[in-house]
Amino acid sequence: MRTALIFVAITLFGCGSAEGDDRIRLDVVAASSLTEVFEAIAIEFETSNASIDIAFSFGASSEIAAAIESGASPDLIAVAEPSVLDALMSDDHVVEPVQYFATNRMEIVVPNGNPKDIASLGDLARSDLVVLLCDPAVPCGRYSSQVLANAGVRIAPASFEVNVKGVLGKVALGEADAGIVYVTDVLAAKERVDGVAIPKDKNVVAQYPIAIVERSSDQQEAERFVAFLTSEIGVRILRRHGFGAP
Amino acid sequence: MFIAALGALLFLLPFIGIALRLPWMRLSEIFGDPETRAALWLSIRSSAMAAALSCFFGAPLAYVLARRAFPGRSVIRALMTLAMVLPPVVGGVALLFTFGRNGFVGARLDEWLGIRLPYSSAGVVLAQTFVAMPFVVVAVESALVRQDTRMEEAARTLGASPLTVLRRITIPTIRPALLAGAALAWARALGEFGATITFAGSFPGRTQTLPLLVYSTLDTDPGAALALSFVLLAVAVVVLGLLRDFWFAGMSDRGKG
């Protein structure tokens, strides 16, 4: 359903540059976790590339990949887990090689002030806590179970939320005591939630690849955006939003 | 005629679309899966419960709305319509702020009775009842408004007690509407997604209903998602089909009465 909607959105609004002027429209589909940082980067990019407009569509990594698989043709796709692009690569939907431009880590998210005194992954197994995880169908959920396995912790979550926002929102509202989300999500919502770091040896490194879509008619401009992402300014903005270097 | 056929196609084609892509070979494997069975069973129980609660509370409410003039009646009517058109996610958020553990009702339920609705099967039923009950209220109320009250008056003047009037005249005449409302409420509850995921979350066996499982498997196993969608469609079509016959029987009964 969501895949279909994204597909419709991309085909309806993603028909390349507007006729009449020479501005080029770059359609970028990206993982939800990139929302804030990509919007910040686009502002910088557009000031130095006045002839290019960037239009984003954010969604679950697997959904945006599925939309391209079923015929949508944005110019670029950026996701939160390399394996999401496997099918697109084997069916030649994207130009290879893909470029890794950022990394992310997981963090425990708790309501402001950490009212339940959660200090480690082990605490998440406490029976007095309502703990939320992302659904194992999305990258965030797979990374979370990997982190818990690394720490040898078994927990009984109250719910598997369909995406990061579900976990973050309910923790911020105080409807859950803790959850596991990306470091960058905690940073983006730092007015409403606090983070409890997960030690490096227990944590995972989520690699973010970006790829140019084979059917894109503006490949040169797409390349320029990728180059900008990995440029000094791009890296600085990514850092500021909590992403690591690839 | 041609336009009507096109209209019908819009609803027929997606059925064919699903049937064509359905992994027939894997059906037994998909439905043998404990997670699928748990979701199916939870969906059946919770939606039946929600439909029953909708009738239990909705029918009396409809009666009062139709027959008694009281301040605030139009407000309640408007709320019913609002609940029908409200995006279910918004309904779920509203439930969370009300019955969540920080909500003004939820906090007291927890403190006084130790009842916690979010993340529980009861929470699923509450979310489903919230979106389903207006269907009963609207169906029954409109039947009551259209009903000729002279029969009830005649019965009363002949000495029938209010309870007898209700039992012998009012309820039999609104029965088709009540059944129609119940069937719609049940179907709405069965397909409910937004309010459930927002208020009750998704946990296999406890709050993960069939629509939630469809959403979750869409990414990892689209074949299974299709098969589950087909079950939802099939169950709804069969039950609504059966009830449809029943309503029409009810309608013609009324002609005789």
A21-69 per-position pLDDT tens digit: 678 899 999 998 899 999 999 999 999 888 999 999 998 888 888 888 8
Q: What is the spatial distance between Cα A117 and Cα B186, in angstroms, rounded to a whole number?
A: 43
d(CA B193, nearest CA chain A) in Å: 11
CATH of the domain at A149: 3.40.190.10
Q: Are A62 and A137 in contact (CB under 8 A)?
A: yes
A129 closest CA partner among B122, B112, B204, B119? B119
Indicate if the pLDDT at residue B113 is higher than 50: yes
* DSSP states along A50-90: TTEEEEEEEE-HHHHHHHHHTT---SEEE-S-GGGGHHHHH
Decide if A26 contacts A220 (C-beta within 8 A).
Answer: no
- Is residue A189 in a domain? yes
Q: Is residue A14 pLDDT above 60, yes or no?
A: no
User: Which residue, chain included where needed, has tokens 């509407």?
Assistant: B177
In a domain, A96, yes or no: yes
Structure tokens at A139: 């990258």
Is residue A98 located within the same domain as residue A211?
yes
Cis? peptide before A199, omega within 30° of 0: no
| Mean pLDDT of the A14-23 span | 54
Residue A202 lies in a domain: no
Nearest CA in chain A to B212: A162
Query: Within 10 A of A148 (CB to CB), how many other CB atoms are there?
Result: 21
Q: How confident is the model at residue A15 (pLDDT cuts 50, 70, 90)?
A: very low
The answer to whether position A65 is within a domain reads yes
Is B157 in CB contact (< 8 Å) with chain A?
no
User: What does the alpha-carbon distance between residue B202 and residue B39 come to, in Å, rounded to a whole number?
Assistant: 10
Q: What integer pLDDT is reported at residue B4 of this predicted model? A: 86
Residue burial A152-175, b: 16+ Cβ < 10 Å; e: rest: eeebebbbbbbbbbbbbbbbbbeb
Residues A98 and A112 in one domain: no
Question: ipTM for the complex?
Answer: 0.78
Q: Considering the domain boundaries, does residue A180 fall inside one?
A: yes
Helix B222-256 vs helix B210-220: angle between axes, to the nearest 10 degrees?
A: 150
Domain identity same for A134 and A87: no
Lookup: tokens for A3 = 């895949």
- CA B40-A155-B32 angle, 5° bins: 25
Q: What is the mean pLDDT of chain B?
A: 87
Q: Is the pLDDT of residue A7 over 70?
A: no
Whether A27 has its CB under 8 Å from any CB of chain B: the answer is: no
Query: Does residue A51 contact residue A220 with C-beta atoms inside 8 Å?
Result: no
Q: Is A159 helix (H, G, I), strand (E, B) or coil?
A: strand
pLDDT of residue A78: 94
- What's residue A53's pLDDT? 92
Asked which of A72-81, A116-125, A211-220, B238-247 is least confident by mean pLDDT, the reply is B238-247
> Would you say residue A246 lies in a domain?
no
Inform me whether the pLDDT recorded for A16 exceeds 50: no
Q: What is the pLDDT of residue B257?
A: 37
- Give the number of domains in chain A: 2
A60: closest chain B residue by CA: B219
Residue A54 inside a domain? The answer is yes
Mean predicted confidence (pLDDT) in A169-194: 93
Instruction: Name chain B contacts of A136, Cβ cutoff 8 Å.
Output: 220
Work out the average pLDDT over B43-68: 94
Tell me how close the Cα of B181 comes to any Cα of chain A, in angstroms. 27
Mutation choice for B interface testing from A162, A168, A171 by most B CBs within 10 A: A162
Judge whether residue B50 has pLDDT over 80.
yes
Picking from B190, B197, B204, B208, the residue whose alpha carbon sits closest to that of residue B93 is: B197
Asked whether residue B236 carries a pLDDT value surpassing 80, the answer given is: no
CB B91 within 8 A of CB B193: no
Inter-CA distances, A13 with A103, B82, B92, B183, Å: 30, 31, 30, 39
| A186 and A228 assigned to the same domain | no
Query: Which single residue is written with the structure tokens 């979106």?
Result: B131
pLDDT at residue B251, as a whole number: 54
For residue A43, the model assigns a pLDDT of 93
Longest Cα–Cα distance in chain B: 67
A99 shares a domain with A27: yes
pLDDT digits (tens, 9 = 90+) for A150-159: 999 999 999 9
pLDDT tens digits, residue range A97-117?
A: 889 999 999 999 999 999 999
- Model confidence band, residue A17 (pLDDT cutoffs 50, 70, 90): very low
Say which of A130, A160, A173 has its CB closest to residue B202.
Answer: A160
Task: Name the phi and psi angles at A135, rounded to 5.
Answer: -60, 140
Whole-number pLDDT of residue B121: 95
Q: Which amino acid is at A127?
A: S
B89 contacts in chain A (CB < 8 Å) = none
Round the CA-based radius of gyration of chain B to a whole number and report it.
21
Q: Reply yes or no on whether the pLDDT at B45 is more than 50.
A: yes
Query: Which residues 181-210 of A are in CB contact (within 8 Å) with B?
Result: none
A130 and A160 in a single domain? The answer is yes
**pLDDT for res B10:** 82
Query: In a mutagenesis test of the A interface, which of B89, B202, B217, B228 is the best target, namely the one with the most A β-carbons within 10 Å?
Result: B202
Q: Give the number of A-B residue pairs with CB atoms closer than 8 Å.
A: 59
Amino acid making up residue B28: S
Amino acid at B26: R
A68 at the B interface (CB within 8 A)?
no
Tokens describing residue B77: 């009517």
Residues B68-76, mean pLDDT to the nearest whole number: 90
In this structure, the answer to whether residues A143 and A25 fall within a common structural domain is no
State the Cα–Cα distance between residues A181 and A19, nearest whole angstrom: 42
pLDDT at A195: 95
CB B144 within 8 A of CB B63: yes
**A41 and A80 belong to one structural domain:** yes
**Smallest Cβ distance to A62: which of B118, B201, B219?**
B219
Angle at B244 between CA B66 and CA B47, to 5 degrees: 75
Read off the tokens for A82: 């390399």
Question: Does position A6 have pLDDT exceeding 70, yes or no?
Answer: no
Specify the pLDDT at position A3.
53
CA separation for the pair B64, B73 (Å, rounded): 9
- Segment A128-152, tens digit of pLDDT: 999 999 998 888 999 999 999 999 9
B156 has a pLDDT exceeding 90: no
Q: A232 forms bridges with which residues in the sheet? A: none
Residues of B in Cβ contact (< 8 Å) with A174: 101-102
How far apart, in Å, are the Cα atoms of A195 and each of A134, A177, A198?
16, 12, 9
Share of chain A above pLDDT 90, in %: 63
Domain that holds residue A216: 2-103+207-240
* pLDDT for the residue B15: 79
Is beta strand A206-212 parallel, antiparallel or unpaired with respect to A99-104? antiparallel
**A245 touches A103 (CB < 8 A):** yes
Average pLDDT over residues B40-55: 95
Considering the domain architecture, whether residues A137 and A93 belong to the same structural domain is answered as: no
- Please name the member of A2, A63, A159 whose beta carbon is closest to the beta carbon of B202: A159
**A152 and A85 assigned to the same domain:** no
Residue A174 and residue A224 in one domain: no
Rounded mean pLDDT, B204-233: 87
**In A, which residues are within 8 Å of B222 by CB distance?**
66
Q: Which tens digit of pLDDT belongs to each residue from B131-144?
A: 999 999 999 998 98
Q: How many residues does chain B have?
A: 257
Given the structure tokens 């016959």, which residue do they identify?
Answer: B245
Task: Please indicate if any CB of chain A lies within 8 Å of the CB of B218.
Answer: yes
Same domain? A140 vs A219 = no
Edge-to-edge strands, sheet with A52-59: A52-59, A24-31, A76-78, A206-212, A99-104
Q: Which residues of B touch A161 (CB under 8 A)?
A: 197, 201-202
Task: Tell me the percentage of chain A whose pLDDT exceeds 70.
Answer: 91
Which superfamily does B34-256 belong to?
Answer: MetI-like (1.10.3720.10)
Segment B174-206, tens digit of pLDDT: 888 898 899 889 989 999 999 999 999 999 999
Tell me if A16 is assigned to some domain: yes
Looking at residue B32, its pLDDT comes to 84
Measured distance CA(A116)–CA(A129) in Å, rounded: 8
The DSSP 8-state label assigned to residue A98 in this structure reads: P
